[in-house]
Chain A
Amino acid sequence: MLAVGVVGAGVAVVTMRNIIHSAVAMMVCFGSLAGMYALLGAPIVAAAQVLIYLGAISVLILFAIMLTQAGDATIPAPYHRQMPVAIVVALGITGLVLWAVIQTDWAAAAEVAGATVDAIATALFTVYALPFEIISLLLLVAIIGAIYLARRPEEDERAG
């Protein structure tokens, strides 16, 4: 069920003509993924998926679409001229990964061991403390960079 939601919404994202429809399909896709994370016994990842992707990134993308598309967001010719190549390459990648998945014997991996909030928190602040700190620095840099890039040039002149 959820897999159908993920793949179907994913196909809708890349084939829709109206870019706002694509963004809504993307939200459906991310929501189904959150359900899959919950099924996989990782409730904190599911919660983060809902907060970050459904809450933050989707709203950010919808805002960007509304800021940039004046009026009708339907595009007459949505595809690049390299689409045939894109189909071949995408099918190649997918086929290769699927072949690897099917060829491998996954018999050893059969149990679902839940990743509880406790366990993840302990791992995050002990074993992975350094990556955690680096991520916080990266987010700070991204915030500053985004503000700098999205600033209007005339504000610059007024300040200087």
Chain B
Amino acid sequence: MPTLEGYLVVSALLFGIGAFGFMARRNAILMLISIELMFNAVNLSLVAFNAFVPNDSNTGAVFGLMIMAVAAAEVTVGLALVIAIIRTRQTAEVDQYSDLRE
């Protein structure tokens, strides 16, 4: 039987991987994917808490569903932005987006 600690450890590791990917990768789309990984890590911890902590109204699972909806909205707008930027700059590398510095 998996324990609550087990789920929380997986969640923490996945969040760390997502944070690393967001900070270290240079591709804009991959940064968005990393944000999705962090969303999922938090979602996992919420659903795990919902399953292990007694509560009346299933707060964790309901908020897990809501985070999924918000993540869907976020990735839609984020990808639209990235595609618009790539169309004007012809590159997905975030290093190249340095107009404000020059």
Contacts and interface: CB of A to CB of B under 8 A. Distances in A.
Interface residues of B, number: 74
B69 interface: yes
Nearest to B74: A142
Interface in B51-102: 51-54, 57-62, 64-66, 68-77, 79-84, 86-87, 92-95
Contacts of A142: 72-74, 76-77
Interface in B1-36: 2-21, 23-27, 29-30, 32-34, 36
A80 B80 contact: no
B37 A26 contact: yes
Contacts of B44: 6, 33, 36-37
A42 to B, nearest CB: 5
A150 B83 contact: yes
Q: Is the interface of B mostly helix, strand, loop or mixed?
A: helix
Interface residues of A, number: 86
Nearest to B76: A146
Contacts, number: 243
Contact of A94 (B16, B32, B48): B16
Q: Is the interface of A mostly helix, strand, loop or mixed?
A: helix
B11 to A, nearest CB: 8
A42 B29 contact: no
A139 B40 CA distance: 19
A97 B12 contact: yes
A139 to B, nearest CB: 5
Given A29-B37, A53-B40, A78-B27, A111 B54 contact: yes
Given A36-B10, A68-B29, A149-B81, 5 more contacts: A37-B64, A52-B71, A111-B52, A113-B51, A114-B51
27 contacts: A7-B13, A7-B17, A10-B13, A13-B21, A14-B17, A14-B34, A19-B27, A30-B40, A36-B7, A36-B10, A52-B71, A64-B83, A68-B86, A68-B92, A75-B27, A78-B27, A86-B24, A90-B17, A94-B13, A97-B16, A111-B52, A112-B52, A114-B51, A115-B51, A135-B66, A145-B77, A152-B87
